[in-house]
Amino acid sequence: MTDSEKLDLLLSEMQELKQRTTNIEDNVTSIKLALENEIRVNIQRVAEGHLDLSRNLHEAMRPSNEVEMLAIKVRMLETEVRELKQKMA
């Protein structure tokens, strides 16, 4: 292989490397844009939805917690009434 052929081969390989580098840069830019414009936005939407569901769950459970507290108070009052009846008898 002559020096001229070697130089041509080297230049060809350099051109191919430049093209591949350009393709990689384009792909990275595309990925960055997708990440910024789609994935982050979708993650934020999912997070907001989760927060809303969590709030709704806590609000829905609040009456249940209040009912439990009332049930405990009723049991305590029933016990006190029972003790008073026994004392009166």
Kindly report the pTM of this predicted structure. 0.50
The DSSP secondary-structure symbol of 73 reads H
Angle at alpha carbon of residue 46, lines to 61 and 55, rounded to 5°: 20
Token reading at 86? 């026994």
- Find, among 1, 18, 23, the residue nearest to 9 by Cα: 1
State pLDDT tens for residues 32-58.
999 888 988 899 889 888 888 888 888
State pLDDT tens for residues 48-89.
888 888 888 888 777 787 888 899 999 999 999 999 999 887
Q: What is the mean pLDDT of residues 8-25?
A: 96
